[in-house]
Amino acid sequence: MSYRVERMPEMQFRDLEQQQETAQFGMWVFLATELLLFGALFTAYTVFRYFYPAVFAEASHGLNAVIGTVNTAILIVSSVFVALAVAAVKSGRRKAFLFDLSAAIFLGTAFMALKGYEYYEHYQNNEFPGLAFDYAVPNAPIRQVYFFLYFAMTGLHAIHLTVGILLLVYVLVRAYRQHYSTAYFAPVENAGLYWHFVDIVWIFLYPLLYLIDIHH
Amino acid sequence: MKSETHISELRPPPIEPANYLNADHGVKSWLFTTDHKRIGLLFLASITLMFTLGGVFAMLIRLELLTPKGDLVSADTYNKLFTMHGVIMVFFFLIPSIPAVLGNFLIPLMIGARDLAFPRLNLLSWYIYLAGAAFTLWAIVSGGVDTGWTFYTPFSTAASNTEVIKTGCGIMIMGFSSILTGLNFIVTTHKLRAPGMTWFRLPLFVWAIYATSMIMVLATPVLTITLALMAIERAFGIGIFDPALGGDPILFQHLFWFYSHPAVYIMILPGMGVVTELICAFSRQRVIGYTGVAIATLAIAFFGFLVWGHHMFVAGEAAYAAMAFSFLSFAVAVPSAVKVFYWTATLYRGSISFEAPMLYALGFIGLFTIGGMTGLFLAALGLDVHVHDTYFVVAHFHYIMVGGSLLAYFGGLHYWFPKITGRMYPEGWARLAALTIFAGFNLTFFPQFILGYLGMPRRYYSYPESFQTLNVLSTAGASILALGLLIPAVYFLWSWFYGPPAGPDPWNAKGLEWTIASPPPKENFIVTPVVTSEAYDYEVAEIEPGLFYEEAD
């Protein structure tokens, strides 16, 4: 892959290599802060599930486990494509690079569409606290907490996935304009790291929210 | 005659050497700067504004408490005053103070770098701070907030009819600024150190900011989510904190203090870093126990994450949890005491001089010790029941936050003022101000220990008449403190323009920042320095040149 523009390191770096290492380290530190952002919600989830295991198990039947499972598969495959894209840019295979990025973007968008459909289902089933929620059923307050946590956690995840999709689109546009090369690919790696992180968060959300009571 | 006139006309005016202040001109060159030194000054200007506002609120609180009856302001207004005082001082002054001003200015200079790792992110973090401050000011203008800076639920989500959401949003936004600043410092310290600048050659100020940044990055997001959940619960009547909705109010306290206790260390650790530098420079000694201080810094940051539960001893926390939190709170005292002992050991046999920064540093050691020791009273399960929510707590944390952080911040500002501006401040006035602040501070807050012990609760606008004498003393102290704080405001502004030139190293201090011109050039180091020794080689420099060469042979 060829340079369109010869890339110079920024003023504060010795060379391009130091700049790329620094950028990547920055992303790892950022992911640490992201982990704690979700951590607060996981803590709240743990507390309430510990106090009300039966209500949580019962409420989890309201979730569409089929869509949840399909979405999990979609995200895992998308992460594979992101990993392939990073490998492709490192070895200079331009066509594969562009294809892998596009595939990951497509899968991410598909996830969001399915998630949106799930939210719509909850709205119709009166399981959407704040918009439409059935307070007449038994244990309604705790059910409300379960669904609030469900929306807070998957909602925060969806915001992150949207950012991830936008990042990949940005990388795709820049890749198309030949901004990256086998010598300069830190933004691709960083977008990839972010994508994998968002993916891993979902890997925890899926069993915690969907599979609490699946053996019934 | 004619030719002479000609020559004098040709003689160029004295040229100021190029530095970061005169490199570019105009408002735009400041608003779009990515220079860490300029961003540090932008933070200085904005937090000074917020500090002034918070100080005005504090004075109004003290004036109301001059008499036992509520006569100056109404009860509701009083609630808003102490809330806005706390919110502004904690989130918009103390947390950004030393890291965002001195840290920003000094970290690259101290490690031999040309800038922080992510200069544009650094500027962004200032704009985010401004946005957060704007939200909070908007909340004040549209009526204020009365929940206390702690926003306890369900009062904040179901009962209070003030501007909780706007204030919460302001703090949330400020949190992102704090996270980005911390991230930038961590990455810079790891990746941009000059050749030869190993971890154990770093100035201890850098260690302190590094540990602080860890807390900023790991604790702040928890506050972000907590405030978001609180705002959602308040706005939409759904949530997880209000018992009426099936929620758990203690969960809010756990999440809130998971940030806000480590936040205390965000405020005090940088102060400890500054004080370490000051003690070394003005006792002309290498710091005793460099490794010990560095490790104690990290240990405080680490233990700081494990003690949040001591805020909930009387809130229905499980007895065993309370015991564990009590024990861990006592454990934080160990690394803190280690530092105090190392500082005093450094003073011992040092050749001490009492310039203004040193006065602040010595004041810090004394007041921090009192603040820390009274913290142990509060960490003790039995005693805490007696003094919880009294003025004892107020006095304790003001000894840490004002006696500790604020004094260190002022000491740091004085010490590095010549580096920042290239000019000296008037030493006599500065010493007078330091002593006034010290006296005013103690007169304000020491009576509050007694008031609290006698049982005066915090956050009330009236009190029994028997408490009046001590309250009058406290208000008198606050007035002296305010006066003391006004003096530096005047002479700093004056010296910025008219102070005598300082030269590169007015204190004869060590460390990379003193090897370059004052004010520093735009890109700090024309040639990247190569570091061969640690930052405190005072003994070597004190030896007379002849002797030095003899020994070197």
> pLDDT, tens digit, for every residue of B488-508?
999 999 999 999 999 999 999
Across the interface, whether the CB atoms of A129 and B183 are under 8 A apart is answered: no
Residues 7-26 of A with CB under 8 A from B: 10-14, 18, 21-22, 25-26
Return the pLDDT at B537: 81
Across the interface, whether the CB atoms of B248 and A48 are under 8 A apart is answered: yes
Across the interface, whether the CB atoms of A32 and B218 are under 8 A apart is answered: yes
Please indicate if any CB of chain B lies within 8 Å of the CB of A34: yes
Q: Is the pLDDT of residue A3 over 60?
A: no
Return the pLDDT at B536: 87
Return the pLDDT at A9: 87
Min Cα–Cα distance to chain A from B226, Å: 7
Min Cα–Cα distance to chain B from A134, Å: 13
Across the interface, whether the CB atoms of B186 and A29 are under 8 A apart is answered: yes
Q: Which residues of B touch A34 (CB under 8 A)?
A: 221
Min Cα–Cα distance to chain A from B516, Å: 17
Choose among A12, A32, A51: nearest Cβ to B119: A12
Across the interface, whether the CB atoms of A41 and B225 are under 8 A apart is answered: yes
- DSSP letters, chain A, are ---SSPPPPPTT-SSHHHHHHHHHHHHHHHHHHHHHHHHHHHHHHHHHHHH-HHHHHHHGGGS-HHHHHHHHHHHHHHHHHHHHHHHHHHHT-HHHHHHHHHHHHHHHHHHHHHHHHHHHHHHHTTEETTTEE-TTSTTHHHHHHHHHHHHHHHHHHHHHHHHHHHHHHHHHHHHHTT---SS--HHHHHHHHHHHHHHHHHHHHIIIIISTTTT-
Return the pLDDT at B311: 95
Q: Which residues of B touch A123 (CB under 8 A)?
A: none
Return the pLDDT at B2: 45
* b/e code B347-377 from CB counts within 10 Å (16+ = b): beebeeeebbbbbbbbbbbebbbbbbebbeb
Q: Is the pLDDT of residue B14 over 70?
A: no
The number of C-beta contacts closer than 8 angstroms across A and B is: 96
Please indicate if any CB of chain A lies within 8 Å of the CB of B158: no
Q: Is the pLDDT of residue B131 over 60?
A: yes
Q: Which of A33, A37, A150 is best to mutate for the B interface (most B CBs within 10 A)?
A: A33
Across the interface, whether the CB atoms of B246 and A141 are under 8 A apart is answered: yes
| pLDDT band at B15; cut points 50, 70, 90 | low
Distance separating alpha carbons of residues A126 and A120, to the nearest angstrom = 10
Across the interface, whether the CB atoms of A40 and B523 are under 8 A apart is answered: no
Across the interface, whether the CB atoms of B240 and A26 are under 8 A apart is answered: no
Mean predicted confidence (pLDDT) in A50-74? 94
Distance separating alpha carbons of residues B146 and A75, to the nearest angstrom = 45
Mean predicted confidence (pLDDT) in B289-303? 95
Distance separating alpha carbons of residues B419 and B102, to the nearest angstrom = 11
Distance separating alpha carbons of residues B140 and B79, to the nearest angstrom = 13
Grouping H, G, I as helix, E, B as strand and the rest as coil, residue B113 is: coil
Distance separating alpha carbons of residues B349 and B346, to the nearest angstrom = 7
Nearest 5 degrees, angle CA B483-CA B489-CA B493?
150
Instruction: Return the percentage of chain B with pLDDT > 90, whole number.
Output: 88
Nearest CA in chain A to B180: A30
Mean pLDDT value across chain A: 93
Q: Which residues of B touch A129 (CB under 8 A)?
A: 236, 238
Across the interface, whether the CB atoms of B118 and A26 are under 8 A apart is answered: yes
- Give the pLDDT confidence of B348-397 residue by residue, as tens digits: 988 999 999 999 999 999 999 999 999 999 999 999 999 999 999 999 99
Mean pLDDT value across chain B: 92
Return the pLDDT at A134: 87
Q: Which residues of A touch B244 (CB under 8 A)?
A: 141
- Give the pLDDT confidence of B186-209 residue by residue, as tens digits: 999 999 999 999 999 999 999 999
| pLDDT band at B538; cut points 50, 70, 90 | confident
Nearest CA in chain B to A135: B245
Q: Is the pLDDT of residue B33 over 90?
A: yes
In sequence order, what are the beta bridge partners of A132?
Answer: A128
Min Cα–Cα distance to chain A from B419, Å: 21
- Give the pLDDT confidence of A139-158 residue by residue, as tens digits: 899 999 999 999 999 999 99
- Give the pLDDT confidence of A100-115 residue by residue, as tens digits: 999 999 999 999 999 9
Q: Is the pLDDT of residue A2 over 50?
A: no
Q: Is the pLDDT of residue B544 over 70?
A: no
Distance separating alpha carbons of residues B428 and A13, to the nearest angstrom = 43
Please indicate if any CB of chain B lies within 8 Å of the CB of A2: no
Please indicate if any CB of chain A lies within 8 Å of the CB of B232: yes
Q: Which residues of A touch B116 (CB under 8 A)?
A: 12
Return the pLDDT at B543: 46
* b/e code A139-178 from CB counts within 10 Å (16+ = b): beebbbbbbbbbbbbbebbbebbeebbebbbebbeebeee
Q: Is the pLDDT of residue A1 over 70?
A: no
Closest CA to B424 of B352, B504, B339: B504
- Give the pLDDT confidence of A153-200 residue by residue, as tens digits: 999 999 999 999 999 999 999 999 999 999 899 999 999 999 999 999
Please indicate if any CB of chain B lies within 8 Å of the CB of A186: no
Instruction: Determine the angle formed by the axes of helices B356-379 and B319-347, rounding to 10 degrees.
Output: 160
Return the pLDDT at B184: 97
Return the pLDDT at B267: 96
**Hey, what are B181's tokens?**
């600043």
Q: What is the ipTM of this complex?
A: 0.93
Nearest 5 degrees, angle CA A145-CA A146-CA A152?
85
Across the interface, whether the CB atoms of B238 and A140 are under 8 A apart is answered: no
Distance separating alpha carbons of residues B450 and B395, to the nearest angstrom = 9
Min Cα–Cα distance to chain B from A103, Å: 30
Across the interface, whether the CB atoms of B222 and A141 are under 8 A apart is answered: no
Q: Give the burial class of A113: count Cβ atoms within 10 A of its Cβ; 0-12 exposed, 13-18 middle, 19 or more buried.
A: exposed
Choose among A43, A148, A156: nearest Cβ to B239: A148
Choose among A47, A130, A148: nearest Cβ to B251: A47
| pLDDT band at B548; cut points 50, 70, 90 | very low
Cis peptide before A138 (omega within 30 of 0): no
Distance separating alpha carbons of residues B176 and B129, to the nearest angstrom = 8
Q: Which of B187, B192, B216 is best to mutate for the A interface (most A CBs within 10 A)?
A: B187
Min Cα–Cα distance to chain A from B239, Å: 6
Fill in the amino acid letter for B60. Answer: L
Grouping H, G, I as helix, E, B as strand and the rest as coil, residue B417 is: helix
Nearest CA in chain A to B191: A22
Return the pLDDT at B27: 92
Instruction: Determine the angle formed by the axes of helices B427-454 and B468-498, rounding to 10 degrees.
Output: 160
| pLDDT band at B317; cut points 50, 70, 90 | confident
